[in-house]
A and B are shown apart, each in its own frame.
Chain A
């Protein structure tokens, strides 16, 4: 089955700096890669996703890049703000598995004012 590894587990940045979180996956058939943001005590919220036919996707200050050859994908947050502080999860799935998502273990991002 799929295995997703996520690094780093904790990340602190100064407000206004960029943050990068990286994930690797094991199943070459995986073709959908979402990122979720979870604030303390809340549900995970989908913030951006990418499909395997696309190398990069941007939405305002966040972007995701995908390298299918190396089987890794990354979340980039620019101009970080205190409200970006949360736990971020990556995930992967393939179309033949009823959209079962396999999640990384999470990254606690802290944006220091």
Chain B
């Protein structure tokens, strides 16, 4: 499983509250990604990182921010959660030098 963990694995929160999801890897890979998965939409890229403090927006970045202060951790923050952000969030890493991406176990977020 490429040494990827996500926390928390499940979270229920109320509209308007801030939420931070954490992705942790043990192998110091350069590239990390955050996706959301919703029925009928596959996986959509939110943000990605290509190194410490190097991040960029993906397809569905509105309402989300990210930070990467250490190689091993990539944080996704919902500044003010909305019901439309109820989803399953997957972190992924790409092994340096090759294209393959490997996914973490996912976080199920429910915004009530």
Residues of A that sit less than 8 Å from B by CB: 1, 6, 32, 34, 42-46, 49, 51, 89, 91, 93, 98-106
| B64 is an interface residue with CB less than 8 A from chain A | no
* Cα-based distance from A45 to B31 in the complex (angstroms): 18
Known: A1-B59, A44-B43, A89-B42. A32 touches B99 (CB 8 A): yes
Chain B interface size range: 20 to 34
Which residues from chain A contact B100 at a C-beta distance below 8 Å?
34, 46, 49
Are A44 and B103 closer than 8 Å at their CB atoms?
yes
Closest to B54 in A: A98
Known: A34-B100, A46-B102. A103 touches B58 (CB 8 A): no
Smallest CB separation, B29 vs chain A (Å): 11
Which residues from chain A contact B50 at a C-beta distance below 8 Å?
98
* Cα-based distance from A101 to B58 in the complex (angstroms): 10
Closest to A90 in B: B42
Smallest CB separation, B95 vs chain A (Å): 10
Smallest CB separation, B112 vs chain A (Å): 21
Q: Which listed residue (A6, A34, A43, A99) contacts B106, Cβ 8 A?
A: A43
Known: A99-B99, A100-B58. A89 touches B104 (CB 8 A): no
Smallest CB separation, A2 vs chain B (Å): 9
Q: What 6 A-B pairs have minimum CB-CB distances, sorted nearest first?
A: A103-B42, A43-B103, A32-B99, A103-B43, A105-B42, A99-B94
Smallest CB separation, A41 vs chain B (Å): 9
Which residues from chain A contact B94 at a C-beta distance below 8 Å?
99
